[in-house]
Amino acid sequence: MRMRTPAGVVVAGTLAVSALAVPAAQASGRLGDTAITKVTVNGGAAVVVGTSTAKKFSVTLTAKDDSGISEADITLFGPSFGMLSPSSTSCSGNTCTAKFVVDPKVDLAYDNGVAGTWYVDAWVDANDGDYVWTEKVKSFKFQRASKLTVNASPEPVKKGKTVTVTGKLTRANWDTFKYHGYAKQSVQLQFKKKGAKSYSTVKTVKSSATGGLKTTVKASKDGHWRYSFAGTSTTPAVSAGGDYLDVK
């Protein structure tokens, strides 16, 4: 008999944060010719969770066996003993889809530490009794949602005068369910002149202890200013909406 879930752990579609939530070392294995050929999490994008709205996403697994695929168990594991099981799993042909729901106020309360790199563990059964069990068959990012603002002033401004560009980089905090400043992060100040299609980086600014951003530039042309953050393993990339500055 096989154990699909670690002994002593009860998981019903929610994130379990405890030492029991991570199984002891288990060797990946198989019986017969069953094989996992592809796993996709959230359509290939990071799973980003904010402070209030439940995040719904799917894990799609494709497998092969000469008798066909019967069922699959798909479980997600992450840092700080994070574990997530699906709310439902269904298989059609060689493809199985597991649906997940993460409610930050229920599943992530008081644990910012679960953000980071997560892994998919999967067990797939074939119709003839063959199976394959693979730990860490796929990795993905589970991240705290981010926000970024910008304001260029004064406006309008005379050509050659100093422009002060302020802003703030924040990210979801699952301890307070609010957005707090993301400190000591490198953020690019970018400019797109009037009529242009893309932004160019002017300089890099470091966020303050409260996530604040502030720098100065010389006014030269009409156009949009914005801050852009490349992201980290725990926080997604984000760009502020451009602030148009009229240069007289």
pLDDT of residue 15: 55
pLDDT of residue 19: 31
Question: Domain ranges in the chain?
Answer: 15-143, 146-245
Q: What are phi and psi of 106, to 5 degrees?
A: -110, -50
- Whether 146-245 and 15-143 are alike in CATH topology: the answer is yes
C-alpha distances (whole Å) from 38 to each of 97, 122, 135, 229 are 12, 11, 14, 31
Q: Which of 29, 53, 184, 42 is nearest to 122 (CA)?
A: 29
pLDDT of residue 197: 96
Q: Which of 19, 18, 24 is nearest to 3 (CA)?
A: 24
| Amino acid (one-letter) located at 129 | G
Task: Report the C-alpha gap between 119 and 97 in whole angstroms.
Answer: 16
- Average pLDDT per block of 10 residues along the chain, 248 residues long: 32 40 56 97 98 97 97 96 96 97 93 97 98 97 98 96 98 97 98 97 98 97 98 98 97
Tell whether domain 15-143 is in CATH 2.60.40.1930: yes
**Domain 146-245, CATH class in plain words:** mainly beta
